Amino acid sequence: MDLQTLTYLVVGATFALYIGIALWSRAGSTHEFYVAGGGIHPVANGMATAADWMSAASFISMAGLIAYMGYGGSVFLMGWTGGFVLLAMFLAPYLRKFGKFTVPEFIGERYYSRTARIVAVICLIVCSVTYVIGQMKGVGVAFSRFLEVDYDIGLYVGMGIVFVYAVLGGMKGITYTQIAQYCVLIFAFTIPAIFISLNLTGNPLPQLGL
């Protein structure tokens, strides 16, 4: 079996897994669509959040910034990671406590202000568009490289898969898909680190290599 056929099989199996997860966990109510029914185990939720951090924005954008800018580029990595921590500590728990589905809803209710709600909407749109642009760029680059197609085709293929499992499963489907992605990414991160450590130090664990 040649490398191209193997690539198509692996990528196809990944697509099938994501769509299968979306069908299995498809949302049956608004509560499930927006907040996964509130029944996701904390460990599983942590895995999904970690997978969101280890996405194209980290794999390609942050790695590219550090490669291009050197040590100074790591500042962006700290800000990117710190944003996730701040969100998890200061916003997510209260959003759940208030029983709201979106950040603007929570902000508007919490501060009794329509103006605050509008500001939250604007901030959310700016952050989301910036994030999605980076993610979609990563999707196009990755799929065009793996499938050996044009960038535009790779982008549309990736967008199509995301659209299917997001619409079918809502946040519930996205969460379980992210958990599967977490397992793949941790494996992809760990194996090279172990072999690089073995190569440089003779120790299987990078920490021992230090």
Residue-wise pLDDT for 78-124, tens only, equals 877 888 788 778 877 777 777 777 888 888 888 888 899 999 999 98
> How far, in Å, CA of 46 to CA of 52, rounded?
10
CA dihedral 62, 68, 74, 77 (to 10 degrees): -10
Average pLDDT over residues 38-60: 79
State the SS3 of the chain.
CCHHHHHHHHHHHHHHHHHHHHHHCCCCCHHHHHHHHHCCCHHHHHHHHHHHHCCHHHHHHHHHHHHHHHHHHHHHHHHHHHHHHHHHHHCHHHHHHHCCCCHHHHHHHHCCCHHHHHHHHHHHHHHHHHHHHHHHHHHHHHHHHHHCCCHHHHHHHHHHHHHHHHHHHHHHHHHHHHHHHHHHHHHHHHHHHHHHHHHHHCCCCHHHHC
| pLDDT tens figures, 160-208 | 877 877 777 778 878 888 888 888 888 888 888 888 888 888 888 767 7
Residue 169 has which token pair? 């499963």
Range of the domain at 37: 3-209
Number of domains in the chain: 1
Matching residue, tokens 């191209």: 4
Average pLDDT over residues 34-63: 78
Q: Which of 63, 123, 69 is nearest to 91 (CA)?
A: 123
Is the per-residue pLDDT at 42 higher than 80? Answer: yes
